[in-house]
Amino acid sequence: MIKLIAMDMDGTLLNDDHATISQRNLDALHAAAEQGIEVVIASGRTWSLLEDIARNVGVVRYVLISNGAAILDLKTGEWLLQVGMPEQQVLDFIRVLDEHNTPFELFCDGTAYMERQYLERAMGHALSPDYAKLFRSRMTLVDDLAPVIAGRTVEKIHVFHVEPEEREMLTKALQAVGPFESACAYATNMEITSPDADKGAALSVLCQKLGIDASEVMAFGDADNDLGMLSWAGWSFAMGNGTAKAKAAAKHIADTNSASGVAQAVEAYALGRQP
């Protein structure tokens, strides 16, 4: 019996514009919630970049953000988990990225921050015009990130675009600063988190709090930052448009995000509807 559905956003629940959700997906999730199934967002984004989406879904209480670096209870406003990186290490990461003149955003306590100098270049790598609009409206721009992060939890640093020939050099420069986990949501980006941040580990923490076993969890993902979650959940689905690693980690393959693959699987496996 499915008691919880956890979904990645980009390339999974969202349409190809990375901003909207099909009506079929919304209807399936509402039907699941009406049956008492917990509907959970599990995204690489931080909360400020998910708030509009969560409001649109409407039946979400818990969000796993920043590749599993944190869990937020939307009902109480409580952080159920926060896995950050050491402040000095983050400052050193920022220095390295600045030295390489690489546009990036930083996720801290649920808010996305960016230095103004990088905004227009980052917009050149926006996933779609609709996503660029959302990004501009939800991004907090600052002149200097150092005072922003003082004494706070930094969940993730997202580098928008790294040329293939530069990735190894940049990775080595960052590794010289200290340990981190590097994942990708798509081919050219880079996502820097604590080695302890993982969607699967975060989902396990949430389910333990809710008294839900892995065998009662349905999870959806498409990218390499979903591997832990797809491996852990008893009913895991890689999207048809997913990476080879995501498909290898999952127990099942769903249809593509653009074909409402989440809804198709929820209808068949959680709602018991015949295709």
pLDDT, tens only, 248-260? 999 999 999 999 9
Q: Which pLDDT tens digit goes with each residue over 46-91?
A: 999 999 999 999 999 999 999 999 999 999 999 999 999 999 999 9
- Give dist(CA 95, CA 89) in Å, integer: 10
Residues 6+ apart with CB under 8 A from 98: none
For residue 91, give both structure tokens: 């400052």
- Give dist(CA 253, CA 238) in Å, integer: 5
Cα 125 to Cα 93, 217, 247: the distances in Å are 21, 34, 26
End-to-end CA distance of the chain: 19
Average pLDDT over residues 164-182: 89
Q: What is the pLDDT of residue 275?
A: 59
Whether the model clears a pTM of 0.85, i.e. scores above it, the answer is: yes
The residue with tokens 């400020």 is 48
Residues 6+ apart with CB under 8 A from 195: 179, 180, 181
With bands split at pLDDT 50, 70 and 90, how would you rate the model's confidence at 149? Answer: very high
Q: Which domains does the chain have, with CATH numbers?
A: 4-82+198-270 (3.40.50.1000), 87-193 (3.30.1240.10)
